Amino acid sequence: MARELVESIKKRFHALDPCTNSNYSHFKVVNTDLSLTVSFETKTLSGTVIYDLVNLDDTTEVILDTSALVINSVTVNGQDAEFELKPVKPPYGAPLVIPVHGKELKIAIEFKTTDKCTAIQFIQGDTGPYVFSQCEAIHARSLFPCFDTPAVKSPYKFTGHSPAVVTMSGRPQPSDASGTYVFDQPIPIPSYLVSITSGNLLKAPIGPRSDVYSEEPNLKKCQWEFEKDMENYIQIAERIVFDYEWSRFDSLVLPSSFPYGGMEIPNMTQLTPTLISGDRTQTKVMAHELAHSWSGNLVTNASWEHFWLNEGWTVYLERRILGAIAAEEAKKEGRRDADEYGEQVRHFNLINGWNELTETCETFDKRYTKLVLDLENGDPDDSFSKIPYEKGSFFLYHLETKLGGIKEFDPFIKYYFNKFKYQSLNTADFVDTLYDFYEPKGKKETLDNIDWETWLFVSGLPEKPEFDLTLASQVYKLVDKWVVYVEKGGKLPGDETEHFEGEQDMLFLETLTAKFKTLKVKPETIREFPKIYPKYTASKNGEIISRWNELLISFGKYTPEDELVQTFAAWLGTIGRMKYVRPGYVLLKNGVSRDFAVETFKKYEHTYHPICRTMVKKDLGLDK
């Protein structure tokens, strides 16, 4: 059955990445040399990219991805070459066609970005001009001509020229030239992991092989937030998978307009400043980005149709790391049930993940609630949601459970990442590898009984797993008191959250919101909440702020003039993380008024990253 299953799965997705114009399958990229020069005056990057290619089948042209780039010149094996920019194919950009002859090719291209580049944002940082890039999923083609697909991985040499400090996706190398920064990346990486940042950056140590970078005003806060756990995270991840291969795990806390929680840039993970909450409750994002050092960076999805292979594995590993951290701390406290407690913490995070998965399946485009996607003629950005993260991780948890638990699954983790490191793979490759590993161990029947069709190709929620509710029960008891009050009246519940830890607070707010959606809650009841739970109003943690305001604004019948709404709207103008920004504007649209949501967005849209701006416009119906 295994061979037939794998072949049937292959027929359900594209053999080649449908989100690239390039003819990448005809070439092997031996090495890439990318040089970028920052101009804060013109807000552009100019540069040269040099590819060492092997022509695999005597193809007579190289086709690269570009988007909104100016191509100044092309040489092939040192000789000036003709080239043609074909018409734009939205959303994939304009193919760059270069005639070639021969097996070994050295192609050099001089180029310049334009104001339509979606990969970079020039801003005024806290201490001076600042630029950063974000290439996932298909935005690298607006930064430099490339095979813009995760199917292609290459070692890189990077050079950055700027009057301010530069970081790029590699290991810093010595440079004697003023304003010149050199980096080496010997491990093959895909185009979406190429990055450049430049600004008045300083660094501080957060571990023996980790520094954190930021502008000076926030450096000490960043250092405090991460220094407690960073090295411990790395060592635990190494025990679960294998030794960290990237030499250093440094991090860069970006300005507020950064649109993601984090981006797993090799050797320089990018982080949102919303993680600096002063309570270390959001360091789990660091565990997530660290896990990407194996899942995504070392072993990569072959196209965005298989994005779950990046993010599902990463969330799975993240929760294993967090559970192990909790167990270690419990052992230091002398708890005899330390390992059991670690699993309880892992399950508490699974519960939070299940809630997020449930909400996404109820509200997101059904086409994109499958694990394996069809992205032909589609924009991968439109498909990005919690699905690949949470549904992917629950699929792996399901496999772990069916195959005998952690002890039976851990050897497969090491086998899988060793087999595919430095490579890209698809879902059929993954399933094939499961059978290769477990069939000799007598687990073929177990795998045959997995409902592959439902897990991989059916929209919506999968079967709900059994959770250990030990750490969630206290939260659920308080939620139940509110449900009884709303349904039957009586004494108003008080604040019983004093001993809640950060994750429990989040679970309380999101569970209460979900329950209230099924009940008739009086607005005056909701308006009592800020008096009962003042700590949530005072919180600086974005996870709390977003959930707290969703609860209040969804049911409180607030108007644009109310101070609470004004405060939340102003907060949306101080952040750029799409996890908060996009739901925030949808909340204003549905809970207050569309006019107010649009008015607020227009006030702050110039501060958002181009990707974030585009997505919020779609959310508010301003893209028509």
Q: Report, as residue numbers or ranges, the catalytic residues.
A: 289, 389
- Give, in order, the Cα–Cα distances in Å from 110 to each of 48, 66, 113, 203, 240: 4, 13, 11, 32, 44
CA neighbor of 358 nearest in space, from 391, 309, 311: 391
The burial class, CB within 10 Å (0-12 / 13-18 / 19+), for 75 is: middle
Q: Report helix, strand or coil for 353.
A: helix
- Number of helices followed by number of strands (H, E) in the chain: 22, 22
The burial class, CB within 10 Å (0-12 / 13-18 / 19+), for 407 is: exposed
Is there a binding annotation on residue 136?
yes
Q: Report helix, strand or coil for 81.
A: coil
Is there a binding annotation on residue 578?
yes
Tell me the C-alpha distance between 456 and 462, whole Å. 10
DSSP string, 492-531: PP----TT--HHHHHHHHHHHHHHHTTS---HHHHTTHHH
Is there a binding annotation on residue 238?
no
Q: Which DSSP symbol is given to 211?
A: E
Is there a binding annotation on residue 550?
no
Is there a binding annotation on residue 263?
yes
Is there a binding annotation on residue 259?
yes
Q: Which residues of 201-217 are buried (b: 16+ CB within 10 A; e: fewer)?
A: bebeebbeebbbbbbee
Is there a binding annotation on residue 591?
no
Please check whether residue 347 is in contact with residue 471, taking contact to mean a CB–CB distance below 8 angstroms.
Answer: yes
Is there a binding annotation on residue 134?
yes
Residues linked to residue 76 through DSSP beta bridges, in sequence order: 79, 107
Please check whether residue 133 is in contact with residue 1, taking contact to mean a CB–CB distance below 8 angstroms.
Answer: no
CA neighbor of 65 nearest in space, from 129, 161, 150: 150
Angle at which helix 502-516 crosses helix 542-555, to 10 degrees, equals 20
Is there a binding annotation on residue 174?
no
The burial class, CB within 10 Å (0-12 / 13-18 / 19+), for 12 is: middle
The burial class, CB within 10 Å (0-12 / 13-18 / 19+), for 608 is: buried
The first and second tokens of residue 1, run together, are: 């059955």
Is there a binding annotation on residue 341?
no
**In the block, residue with structure tokens 């023996």:** 208
Is there a binding annotation on residue 282?
no
- Give, in order, the Cα–Cα distances in Å from 394 to each of 35, 40, 278, 300, 468: 41, 45, 30, 19, 15
Tell me the C-alpha distance between 403 and 429, whole Å. 19
Query: Is the link from the previous residue into 137 a cis peptide, with omega within 30 of 0?
Result: yes
Is there a binding annotation on residue 347?
no
CA neighbor of 542 nearest in space, from 188, 148, 279: 279
Is there a binding annotation on residue 353?
no
Binding residues for a peptide: 134-136, 259-264, 577-579
Binding residues: 134-136, 259-264, 288, 292, 311, 577-579
Binding residues for Zn(2+): 288, 292, 311
